Amino acid sequence: MPEFFERKQLFTDDGGQLLGSQCKQCGVRQFPPTAICRYCGHDELDEIVLAKTGKVKAFSFDRQFAIGDVELLDGITVFGRIEPLDPERLAVGVPVTLTPLETEDGRIIRFVMDD
């Protein structure tokens, strides 16, 4: 099992970016990090740092915030919170930047709409 997978980290050590894995066999990039490629079954993967920016691919509103899929610039889709809660501005294709949210329970995947 890859050493990076045993750490079970989603974020880089400084907390600013997401981690993923890339299969050495087929080259597919994946999130969250995995020990076995979900596409070809190969068990040799490298840890990679994912892009911080992307565009909203799909979303829904909760009472206090929006949640949705963001397609990062490197092509990986990540589910997370989207802020600010602005129904008039949030739309498919809106650019966002990963800005992890620190809570008492840990770090949350949060994207903030670009100005």
- What digits encode the pLDDT tens for the residues 98-115? 999 999 988 999 999 998
Domains of the chain by range and CATH? 1-50 (no CATH), 53-113 (2.40.50)
pLDDT at 115: 82
Give the residue from 50, 55, 56 showing the smallest Cα distance to 17: 50
Above 60 in pLDDT, residue 3?
no
Q: What is the pLDDT averaged over residues 30-46? A: 93
Above 70 in pLDDT, residue 64?
yes
Above 60 in pLDDT, residue 7?
no
**Phi-psi region at 23: left, alpha or beta (left = phi > 0; alpha = psi -120 to 50):** beta
CA torsion through residues 3, 5, 75, 61, sign: negative
- Contact predicate 78/31, CB 8 Å: yes
Higher model confidence: residue 14 or residue 94? Answer: 94
